[in-house]
Copies of this chain bind each other. A is one copy, B any other.
Amino acid sequence: MSESLQELEQEFLDYVKKISAFEEALSLVYWDLRTGAPEKGATQRSEVIGTLSGEIFKMKVSEEMAAFIAGLWVEKVNLSDVTRRSLEECKKEYDLNKKIPAKEYEAYTKLVAQAETIWTTARASNDYDLFKPYLEKIIASKRKFVEYWGYQENPYDTLLDQYEPGMTVAVLDDVFAKLREAILALRKKVEAASYQPDATLLHKKVSKAKQKEFSERILTKMGFDFEAGRLDDTVHPFATGLNIGDVRITTRYDEANFKMAVFGIIHEGGHAIYEQNISPKLVGTPLANGASMGIHESQSLFYEIILGSSFEFWQSNYKDFQEITAPVFDDVSVEEFYRAVNLSESSLIRIEADTLTYPLHIMIRYELEKAIMNGEIGVDELRDAWNDKYEAYLGVRPETDADGILQDIHWSGGDFGYFPSYALGYMYAAQLFATLSKEIPNVSEILASDDYSPIREWLTEHVHQYGMLKKPLEILTNTTGEGLNPDYLIQLLNDRYNFIYKLNEA
């Protein structure tokens, strides 16, 4: 009996290893398409994507997979941690797919494929009405799926759980309320401040080569392993872990906006360092990934926002930046520079938002998605609701759909429940940093040095190594001793913007 369980376990591990191999090939195909594949090969390459995706999907919902789940689930307690958690993930995905009748799932797949194309056209022509019927169908499908999948308290919980296992409306309503209040209060002070940073500094010309040189130096300090990764150019920056020994990041350069690439690279570097440091024992299983979207984002934001946007960081690195870009910033002090890169301004577009306003963009989407999934709002009211919320939270009102409700691709792909991860990332990062600062008291000394490895090692010890072996809330609680707490982010924002806008100097 015990021997036959071992055999079944091994067969299961071989099976998921094969899925991982197909997924790695697929990731490489996507990376290649987004970094320099010749245009004329794209049509045929989509056949490759179709074949590999099809194979992966087939394996995940196959009768073989059903047999593994049936055979191993009853023996869960006798399995290794890695097998058990892999099995749980496989079962979760199997159930998600199998609970929807095949025909409905197929129709939905076609719908979202069409909807993405329509969304692109609608955004380009500022025409929400064009997109509306598709959005309506997607919402109807998604609500029906939630019925198939089931839910406890709130239908939207089921969707949240797909991106952030364990996250609920009850938790988010609470933390977002606190965070919103704090941000709105701080925003008021910032807007009224007599000192305003010099935004023109952000548009001084810095060549691509110089932006790259500086960013690569920072990546190296952070602990990005160039023997286990690479940095390439792309249009829409991303990080992709092909395997833990090959994690690639990409960026876009604008010579009149150095901030985009420099902070973008630090951000993607944070994602990459996470995946480079997942435990080798998880390789070839579904666990060799980030614990959740929110935890993944917490790692990129830890480097971009917590460290990379701190004054200590720039005190240490500004000299290098000045030297590399000389003479452009010769007459700009580190304080002026620091305040400029961190200025806060209401804006319409989420992906261009600063640290302080970004969570507000997320809350708007969260509130709308929740209302949508609870049937409290229909597609006809959605545009006005969007615009009203922007006016209420950010004091700006979109004049076009492209600057408003059509700006994000997510809904066209049916990705409801994804947005909150971004804001969770901010809160997780601040909360982790508070614990790290207690356990490593000399963080500013580390930031003043050429080697940030104590920080990287701390993150690896508490977060990276586990991949998906632990669930997001488990990681947070084990590390910080408490559940999600927005106070750390609120404190950090207050301290930071008080300094930037000289709010205590009046």
Residue numbers of A with Cβ under 8 A of B are: 17-18, 20-22, 24-26, 28-29, 32, 36-45, 47-48, 50-52, 55, 225-230, 242-246, 248, 283-284
Contact = CB atoms under 8 A, between A and B. Distances in A.
Nearest 9 interchain pairs by C-beta: A41-B246, A40-B245, A21-B51, A44-B243, A41-B245, A40-B228, A21-B48, A25-B25, A38-B246
Contacts of A248: 38
Chain A interface main SS type: helix
A38 B284 contact: no
Contacts of A244: 44
Given A28-B48, A44-B242, 8 more contacts: A21-B50, A37-B246, A38-B227, A38-B229, A40-B227, A40-B228, A44-B246, A45-B243
Contacts of A43: 245
Looking at A44, A248, A284, the one whose CB has the most chain B CB atoms below 10 A away is: A44
B40 A246 contact: yes
A227 B39 CA distance: 6
Nearest to A20: B47
Contacts of A40: 225, 227-228, 245-246
14 contacts: A21-B48, A21-B50, A21-B51, A21-B52, A24-B45, A25-B25, A25-B26, A25-B28, A25-B29, A28-B32, A39-B228, A41-B228, A45-B243, A45-B246
A36 B232 CA distance: 11
Contact of A52 (B25, B37, B41, B245): B25
Nearest to A246: B41
Nearest to A24: B48
A47 B284 contact: yes
Contacts of A39: 227-228, 245
A285 to B, nearest CB: 12
A50 B26 CA distance: 15
A336 to B, nearest CB: 38
A52 B29 CA distance: 14
A112 to B, nearest CB: 22
A352 B21 CA distance: 38
Contact of A283 (B44, B246, B284): B44
A44 B24 contact: yes
B51 A22 contact: yes
Contacts of A52: 21, 25
B44 A226 contact: no
Given A45-B243, A243-B44, A226 B38 contact: yes
Nearest to A242: B41
A21 B284 CA distance: 23
Contact of A230 (B38, B48, B242, B283): B38
